[in-house]
Amino acid sequence: MALSSPSPTTEAFATARRDLARYQPSSTLLPAIGFRLSQRAAIRSRMGPKGEAAPSGPLLEAGTELRAGALSCEDLLERSLRAVSRFGAATRGVVTLLEAEARRDAQRLDSELAAGHWRGPLHGIPMTVKDNIDVAGAPTGAGSSAYGRVAEVDAEAVRQLREAGAVIVAKVATHELALGVTTPQARHPLDGDRIPGGSSGGSGISVATGMALASVGTDTRASIRVPAALCGVIGFKPTYGAVPAEGIVWLSWTMDHVGILAASVADAACVVSCASPLLRELAGAAQAAVAGWRVGVPADGFAGASAEVSAAVGAELERLKSSGVELVPLPAPGGDDFRLANAAGLVISRAEALSYHRSLQTDLAELWPETADQLRMADDISAAEYLDAQRFRADLAGRMLKLVVDHDLDALAMPTALVTAPLVSEAERFFTLLSRNAIPWSLLGWPSVSLPCAVEGGALPVGLQLVAPPYEDGSLVSLGAALERAAPQNSVAGAAIQTATSTSHSSTAI
């Protein structure tokens, strides 16, 4: 996919470097902040579920039918393959179809069920994997002609999901080397003139169209949450390191997260719990009551948002209030924080990407002009600039932890992306705007989730982002499940929840 050059990355890098040059660190924060936060998390983790009805989703519903014998693994796979036939080429979301392998796995898993062996809720569940993540025997292309090899073993997260019974249907599209948030070679599932978001664009497409019941993606700056917001599905980025990242094509080893896209919060939590040794109990958090919880809403999180995004996110926040959640207006993170987080995230991630691809001897001449520009710009970053970015990172982490503790917050809320899916012809203009609200939380390693807002039929999807401190992933699941229970049934998001709790065979999320 050739894009014009020079690309907007040149100015983006220049702006980031100017912003960091003006950065003045705040005073040192007391180390007791971290201790107070861990104390609070320990207390809340002992509170446990409060008896809400167990939520569901297309994935969990299919698992229930499989275990009851009302559905076979081969039947479920056929549904996915029909969706691939219908949407795969049109959206350009599928890179490598693994039909023969998937059929063999589905047959084997049916045999296990017949013998009384059920692996758990992922037994026989069709999933896709982003093309920068290894699947044994399949090419790992990372969206680039400069990078391609056949993986000998599964990435660790894929291995654990297969062990839990997942059936890998396809490798799906990514922005080249995951170095962007547009995936411009793919197309939005609702409008072929628009981008799906990125870099996990194929993952968002595959869940939204029913090609898979969940997808494994990566997120360095915004790459799970932006396509989730634009495509109208759930995008869950767990705490940094909670899901193993071995076996991915790295972008930034200090910022890369492996996460999940799915059609409901409960579905996403189920998959994350199977992929993460640290979050095995995550799925149970979907039953927790949230009355009395406190969610901070930073005013600057809405700065620059389009009218339709502000309205849809505002309506979701009102639904949180109807569930008994107290919304707490916040002065932070402010505009300077979002701007500097973007600058620091760009400098850190691209400097680390350059180092990694030098080790692979990646030929920049084979890359898209936009991707090559990013790596060339990174070559000019000095050690002092990289350290300034890391210093801001530590500064922001301390201040955000203090914010959460001082206001006794369970989470923060803001739009995931400030706009809906842009036109392909305008994609380059959105290099930084789409990811603006998502970047701080990847930079800090905080868990975050994008939830589809209720919108009128025919409207483009909008995402609400919820953020929590490290290892409080369960709070996001609890709040997200509460929002799904409160969703109006005549909306796009509501229709997805209705499908999730019905006996319908459809797995389409939008």
Q: What is the mean pLDDT of residues 483-500?
A: 58
Q: What is the mean pLDDT of residues 312-317?
A: 98
Q: How many CA atoms lie within 13 A of 255 on its CB side?
A: 32
In the predicted model, is pLDDT for residue 1 greater than 50?
no
User: What order of strands is seen across the sheet that includes strand 411-415?
Assistant: 94-97, 167-172, 126-130, 214-219, 257-262, 234-237, 448-452, 463-467, 411-415, 294-298, 326-330
pTM of the model: 0.92
Omega before residue 333 within 30° of 0, cis: yes
d(CA 510, CA 508): 6
**Dihedral, CA of residue 210, residue 87, residue 80 and residue 126, to nearest 10:** -70
d(CA 138, CA 97): 9
Convert the pLDDT of each residue in 114-171 to its tens digit: 999 999 999 999 999 999 999 999 999 999 999 889 999 999 999 999 999 999 999 9
The owner of tokens 């990174």 is: 378
d(CA 364, CA 146): 8
pLDDT of 33 reads 46
Residue 134 belongs to what H/E stretch? none
Of 101-115, 194-208, 280-294, 492-506, least confident by mean pLDDT is: 492-506
In the predicted model, is pLDDT for residue 102 greater than 70?
yes
**Dihedral, CA of residue 138, residue 139, residue 143 and residue 147, to nearest 10:** 150
508 pLDDT band, cuts 50/70/90, is: very low
In the predicted model, is pLDDT for residue 6 greater than 80?
no
Is the Cα torsion angle 398, 403, 408, 411 positive or negative in sign? Answer: negative
Q: What is the mean pLDDT of residues 91-96?
A: 98
Which domains, ranges and CATH numbers included, belong to the chain? 9-23+35-500 (3.90.1300.10)
In the predicted model, is pLDDT for residue 24 greater than 80?
yes
Asked if 59 and 270 touch (Cβ cutoff 8 Å), the reply is yes
Percent of the chain with pLDDT over 70: 89
In the predicted model, is pLDDT for residue 295 greater than 50?
yes
